[in-house]
Structures are given as structure tokens and as C-alpha cells.
Amino acid sequence: SEQEIVTDVVIIGAGPVGLFAVFELGLLDIKCHLIDILDKPGGQCAELYPEKPIYDIPAFPEISGQELTDNLLKQAEPFGPTYHYNRMVNELEKQDKGDYLVKTDAGETFRCKVVVIAAGGGSFQPKRPPVPNIEDYENTSVFYAVRKMDDFRDHDIVIVGGGDSALDWTLNLAPLAKSLTLVHRRDSFRAHTDSVNKMRALVEEGKINFELGQIASLEGENGQISAVNIKNADGEKSLPATRLMPFFGLTMKLGPVANWGLNLHENLIEVDTEKFATSEEGIFAIGDINYYPGKLKLILSGFHEAALMAQAAKKIIHPDEKVVFQYTTSSTKLQKKLGVK
Ligand code: FAD
């Protein structure tokens, strides 16, 4: 296990609401680390509808999910948040002095005074393909995300799928693989045309292989695969493989949030509407993951919740500092923090 990372606040989830919380906390001199199981910021906006226009963000008559995400990142930038992607928060432990330890499935431990759960519709988790015993190889030789490219160097890699993740990783891993085979059930792809063209060019040059088919079974032992057997129109074919990456899309699951002893209301975290605090002192819940009477699962509600949560978090993190209400338009103090003065 690695060293403990010490920070004021850990935000679980880098969706639009988690991102805006960085800004509201930053104005109050509070530093954040954000953790998301996705490989990018933006939550549902970036994963489910990056190119669709949203029409009900105040003062943006029309903005796409990705543009909204990019703007939120830019707005948070002056406060220097640290983003940790491709990892799931699976444990939350209260310590004696009121600190929390937040642990991820990548082995990190964060120590903080306040935890902000901005987990939205739950954690995006990869769909497991229907292949017998695939669980036995997960995270040792079968991966649904790339944490370190070097773990794939000089391997016989098989990638399965036809979407952007499958194509992006095919292109990124091709230069360092011993061999790379992309498997898809059809010869048409959902991924961007540009990526598809680049992939076809690599096949043409003999740098990678493409196989039509579906994975049928795996061979291997002790967590290490040695071959991927695929079914296609001609029957079965065995591909030598020491790394397999299936990309079958994502589902949202509440995940570990349910195990943290917080009061829940139909799988959502109960909060008050003054502070958006949960039943545990120092743990807040904002955005789609929370419940209170009248809750609307809209981005604008999450933004408001982030602002009030930040005021309450301030009292826990800097109990001796008085918070003076200020406008960003007129406060030189706030403008200095934003780097515009
Ligand atoms: P999310 O966007 O769900 O982000 C939560 C993040 O937390 C996710 O990335 C997830 O992976 C991560 N996470 C959860 N648990 C863990 C964990 N244990 N460890 C690590 N990471 C974790 N809203 C509007 O206001 N206007 C619209 O027009 C609109 N249109 C929509 C259209 C579609 C198709 C969909 C699906 C939703 C739409 N919404 C719209 C809803 C809006 O997207 C949500 O309200 C918003 O995304 C909620 O933001 P959030 O930050 O609370 O959560």
C-alpha cells in the first residue's frame, strides 16, 4: 500500500456537481482531491451524452455535456484540485480525531476532515462479458481500464468491442504491445470514424490484427490468461493472449456507497437542506446521489447544494475562521484567489 495523501476534502465523484464543489470550496480556501472510477471528468454528462445539448443550465441557453464539463474544469482550475481517475472509492473509515480515511481499489489512502459524496447515479462499472470464469482473471490479466500503460508493454493483447474505448486503447497500446488483436462481432464500429480509419490503417500495415467474432472462452491458470478463444462464422479460433480488455459498455451501480452506514432513502443518501449533511458528521452528499423532500435530479440543484455544503464544510475544516459573505464581482480577496486580480 502507498503513502497516505493528506487533504482537506475528498470528493467522491468528478461529475458536474463534484467539479463545481471544487470551486465553491476553493473560494473558502479549502483544498480538494477528487476520485472517480471513470477515466475522465464529467460523470453522466461526459459518459452518457457528451454531444447532446442541455437547455436548462442557468445562463447557457444551450451547452453540450462535454462543453459544460470543460467549463467546470476551467472554473475549478485556480484552486489546483488533484484528480484521480480509474479508481473506485471502496472504504470510508472514521478516525478518533474526526478525520476520515478514504480508500480506493488502487491501494491509495486519503486522510481528510470532510468527505463530499457526489456519486451521482452511482459508480460507472464495466459490464462483464458473458464468458465462463472471467472473474478469475480480472485485474490480473483481464482489465476493463488502463491504469498504467506499462502493464501492457510486450504483451499479447486482445481488445474486444467496437466503441470509442475499444478503438482508443487499440490505437494507444498498439505501439507497445508484442501483438495486438481487436475483436468485434461486426465489421462496423460505433467509435469515431477517425479512430476507425487509423485502426484499419494499422491492420493494413500488418501492425495489428482484426478478427470478426465473439469471445467464447479463456485459457489460463492462476489468474494469468494464455489464450482467448473466439467464435466466428467459420467456427472457433484461438488467439494467444496475455492481456484481455473487454469493452462492453458501462452500467451505473450504487456500489460501495451503500456500505458506509449512512441513512438511505431508496438507495439515495438522506441529507438536510441547510447543509446537505448526511447522518454522519463531516460527510456531505450533493447532486443526484442525495435525497430530501422536493429533490429534483438536475445539475442546477447540485450546484446550489455544493455552495451550501461548502459553507458548512468550512466550519469543520477551519472552525476558528469567520466566513464573511462576499460577491466575486466586488471582493478583491475572492478575485485574488481566482487569479484575476
Ligand atoms: P454524476 O454525473 O452521476 O457523476 C457521479 C460520478 O461519481 C460518476 O462519474 C461515477 O463514476 C462516480 N462515482 C460514483 N461512486 C463512486 C465511487 N464509489 N468511486 C469512484 N467514483 C464514483 N440534467 C439536467 O440538469 N439537464 C438536462 O438536460 C439533463 N439531461 C440528461 C440527459 C441524459 C441522457 C441523462 C442520463 C441525464 C441528464 N441529466 C440532465 C441529469 C444530469 O446528468 C445529472 O443530474 C448529473 O449528471 C448529476 O451530476 P452528479 O455530479 O451528481 O453525478
Distance of alpha carbon 241 from alpha carbon 246, whole angstroms: 13
* 69-to-35, 50, 176, 179, 181 alpha-carbon distances in Å: 16, 9, 31, 36, 33
The verdict on 154 and 190 lying in the same domain is: yes
Say if residue 1's pLDDT is above 80.
no
Residue scoring higher pLDDT (146 or 239): 239
> Rounded to an integer, what is the distance from CA 64 to the centroid of its chain?
19
Query: Pick from 248, 263, 282: which residue ends a domain?
Result: 248
* 54-to-44, 48, 67 alpha-carbon distances in Å: 12, 12, 10
The verdict on 169 and 309 lying in the same domain is: no
Query: Pick from 218, 248, 278: which residue ends a domain?
Result: 248
The verdict on 134 and 118 lying in the same domain is: no
- CATH, residue 189: 3.50.50.60
Residues 249-305 have pLDDT tens digits of: 988 888 889 899 999 999 899 999 999 999 999 999 999 999 999 999 999 999 999
How many domains does the chain contain in total? Answer: 2
Residues 196-227 have pLDDT tens digits of: 999 999 999 999 999 999 999 999 999 999 99
Beta strands at 100-104 and 89-94: parallel, antiparallel or unpaired? antiparallel
Structural contact between residues 299 and 132, judged by C-beta atoms closer than 8 angstroms: no
Residues 177-198 have pLDDT tens digits of: 999 999 999 999 999 999 999 9
The predicted structure's pLDDT at residue 46:
94
Binding pocket residue ranges, ligand 1, CB within 6 Å: 12-18, 35-38, 43-45, 48-49, 54, 56, 88-89, 118-124, 255-257, 287-288, 297-300, 302
The verdict on 137 and 117 lying in the same domain is: no
126-137 average pLDDT score? 95
Question: Can you give the residue range of the structural domain that contains 179?
Answer: 128-248
Share of the chain above pLDDT 90, in %: 89
Query: Pick from 248, 279, 306: which residue ends a domain?
Result: 248
> Rounded to an integer, what is the distance from CA 114 to the centroid of its chain?
20
Which position has the grid cell 472554473? 75
pTM over 0.80: yes
- Kindly report the average pLDDT of the chain as a whole number: 95
Handedness of CA 31, 34, 40, 44 (dihedral sign): negative
Distance of alpha carbon 229 from alpha carbon 237, whole angstroms: 6
- Residue 110, marked binder: no
The predicted structure's pLDDT at residue 255:
85
Mutation to probe ligand 1, out of 44, 83, 260 (largest number of atoms < 8 A from CB): 44
Looking at residue 43, its amino acid is G
The verdict on 191 and 154 lying in the same domain is: yes
The verdict on 143 and 103 lying in the same domain is: no
Residues 61-113 have pLDDT tens digits of: 999 999 999 999 999 999 999 999 999 999 999 998 889 999 999 999 999 99
- Please give the torsion angle defined by the CA atoms of residues 224, 174, 45 and 27, in that order, rounded to the nearest 10 degrees: 90
The predicted structure's pLDDT at residue 2:
61
- Residue 329, marked binder: yes
